[in-house]
Each structure stands twice: as structure tokens, then as C-alpha cells.
Amino acid sequence: MLCALIMAGGKGERFWPLSTDEKPKQFLKLLGEETMIQMTVNRLKDLIPVDRIFVVTGERYISLVKEQLPELSEKNIIVEPIGKNTAPCIALSAFQIEKQYKDATIAVLPSDQLIKNEEEFRNVIAAADSFIEENQDSIVTLGMKPDRPETGYGYIKCDRTSSIVNGLKIRNVDMFVEKPNLEKAKQYLNNGNFLWNGGMFVWKAKNILRLTEKYMKNTYDVLKEIACTSEEEYMNKLKSNYVLVDSVSIDYAIMEKAKDIYVIPSEFGWDDVGTWYSVERYRDKDENNNVCVGNIININSKNNIVVGKNKPVIIFGLEDIFVVESNDIILIGNKDDIKDIKEIKKTVI
């Protein structure tokens, strides 16, 4: 029984000031007329019915999830009282999903990625599901074939030998690799057996819990006690005990330790949508290569990113800058400094 778990608890600080703690990037229309989380759910519907799509998010975002995904049942919204990184929230969700669907296979997916070829994406998820049904103690991750020496992504080193599942190649994972410097990234690109790590995993709920118990015993024990609580007392127990779990990513906690991990090399037009550079890559541009969102007037200006909100924004004689207007702040800077937005936020808020 294939289910989807969409992780939607992040803050999206690199999209500040538009992305805020109150309304982070997964709830914004960064690339079109749908928010990022709406895009994520809609691309799944032809493969997984809505009653088997779950969202795990922070308590403060429940109303946003309900507003943007009205077709999602309230029981499919899994609440994380406090952010504790990806490993605990995935294990918490596995306990919850297993209550509703015994023997569930879970596709764990971020809520804020771009996937252009959605049919191919569904084909890859379906192939991973087929493989897991035959290899229930395994994990399948999706690795994106790199087309540039990217230093902003983690990588997956995979075995060169492969087998076939549903017409797609699947390879053994040798290791997960942290974000490299430029020289290393070029080596990975030329090597041919390194893939971008998209943070997407397909595995059995019972395997998630088995590996959590093996590698994160404290977290497992805390979550099991919460899961065994009566429905009436569940939220009180969750709020009081969840603080006791270990704060750690799924990569560090399990993926770097577990055996039987496989990867499907994938080409479906993936992007992490991690900074305003992603918006520049995919939004329409005018004749002077400006990305303009909102009521924007460009005069003798080129290669700019301008995101307006309430007022007309006039850009005159400028090049290679970005402007982002929120309800409270207007941020202006050189495009080369987009990578530093997260640090800039810390200095002013």
C-alpha cells in the first residue's frame, strides 16, 4: 500500500523576506500559480490517492495546510510540536501512517521541490514501490543525474553495476556525500557514478521503525510511548514528550549507517528550489533577462530579479541586482550575495 509523506516544516530562510517563520516558502507561489506544497501534492494524485497522502508539519502551520490543501483529511496532517530535524519527524509519521495502513510503503518527499516531468517522476516512484515490495528491508532513494558541478547539494555515490526494475536502472548506494567544494563537485560530475541527493526515499513503514529502533533507540522509545497513547490523550503526550527525541537528520541518523540502500538514477527535471537563483532559472524573463514578479517597471536595466508585492517597483539603470518586497521589508542587494540572505536575516531580526 503506497503512501506519500510530505515534509512541510521547514522555514525557507534563504527566501527571506518573502518567506517568514509565519509563512515559509512551501506555502508561497514562488514558481507559478500554485504554492510549492500544492504542486507537490498535485503531482502525486495520478499515482497515490489523496487519502494516502500525509503532510507532517509544525503546529503553527496546520491552518496553512488546511487552507491550501482543503481536500486533505485532518487525520492525514501529522503534527510536530517542535522542529527536531528530519529523522524524528519521519519516524513519528511512520507510527501514525502504520495505524491507518498496515504494511504501508512510504514515499518520503520534501514539500518545496520543482519537478518538471511529473509523469516520469511518478514512474520512478512506482518502480521504487515495486522494488520495495520484493525487498522489504531495503530503502530506495532517488538520485538526480548532475548536469553541472553543483556545490549546494549533497551527493550519492553509487555502484556502477545495475539491475532493472519497471524498465529503470537501480544501483547499490556506496555512500552519501556532503556538499562538496567546487573542485570536488567537478570530479563528481566527471566520475559518472555520483548523483545529486534529492532527499526522497521509498521504504516500508515497519523498516523505518526497525531502523529507528536500531540506530536511534531513545527516539524510538519516546515515539513508541506517544504512539501507544489513547486518542484522547495523544496531543498532550506528544507535546510533553516530543522534546525528548534526538534532533538529527535522516541522513546522519540512518542513511549513512543502514545497509541495503539502493538508488534509481533519475531525470525528471528536478530542482531543489533552495534560493532565489532557482526562481531566476524557472520564471519567465523579459527581453533584458529580468525576472519580474508583481507590478515591475524596468528602465535600462538587465539581469535583475525583482519580486514586488503591494507597490509598483521601478528599476532604473541597474544590473545584476535583486529586489524582494514583503509586507514589512524591502530587501535590495547584488545577485552575487543571494547566498548570504540567511545570514543577513540573522543580523536584522
Confidence of residue 292 (pLDDT cuts 50, 70, 90): very high
The pLDDT score that the predictor gives to residue 34 is 96
How crowded is the C-beta side of 25, counted as CA atoms within 13 Å? 23
Class of residue 167 by CB neighbours under 10 A (exposed 0-12, middle 13-18, buried 19+) = exposed
The pLDDT score that the predictor gives to residue 309 is 87
Average pLDDT over residues 251-275: 93
Q: Tell me which residue of 278, 270, 272 sits closest to 338, measured CA to CA.
A: 278
β-sheet bridge partners, residue 321: 334
Cα–Cα dist 137/261, whole Å: 9
Chain segment 115-156, per-residue pLDDT in tens: 999 999 999 999 999 999 999 999 999 999 998 999 889 999
The pLDDT score that the predictor gives to residue 201 is 97
Q: Which three cell numbers stand for residue 150?
A: 553543483
Confidence of residue 99 (pLDDT cuts 50, 70, 90): very high
Confidence of residue 348 (pLDDT cuts 50, 70, 90): confident
110: left (phi over 0), alpha (psi -120 to 50) or beta: beta
Whether the pLDDT of residue 349 is over 80: the answer is no
DSSP state of 285: B
Average pLDDT over residues 73-85: 95
Cα–Cα dist 280/287, whole Å: 14
The pLDDT score that the predictor gives to residue 194 is 95
Q: Distances in Å between the alpha carbon of 328 and those of 129, 309, 336?
A: 45, 10, 24
The pLDDT score that the predictor gives to residue 160 is 83
Percent of the chain whose pLDDT exceeds 90: 90
How crowded is the C-beta side of 1, counted as CA atoms within 13 Å? 14
Average pLDDT over residues 318-347: 93
| CATH entry, 2-271, from 3.40.50.300, 3.30.930.10, 3.90.550.10, 2.60.40.3880 | 3.90.550.10
The pLDDT score that the predictor gives to residue 288 is 95
Chain segment 152-200, per-residue pLDDT in tens: 899 999 998 889 999 999 999 999 999 999 999 999 999 989 999 999 9
What is the enclosing helix (H) or strand (E) of 88? helix 86-100
CB atoms within 10 A of CB 190: 9
> Could you give the residue range(s) of every CATH 3.90.550.10 domain in the chain?
2-271
Average pLDDT over residues 277-297: 94
The pLDDT score that the predictor gives to residue 162 is 86
The pLDDT score that the predictor gives to residue 311 is 87
The pLDDT score that the predictor gives to residue 330 is 93
Confidence of residue 347 (pLDDT cuts 50, 70, 90): confident
The pLDDT score that the predictor gives to residue 346 is 86
Q: Which three cell numbers stand for residue 234?
A: 495523544
The pLDDT score that the predictor gives to residue 16 is 95
Chain segment 23-76, per-residue pLDDT in tens: 999 999 999 899 999 999 999 999 999 999 999 999 999 999 999 999 999 999
The pLDDT score that the predictor gives to residue 2 is 98
The pLDDT score that the predictor gives to residue 321 is 97
Mean pLDDT estimate for the chain: 95
Whole-structure pTM value:
0.93
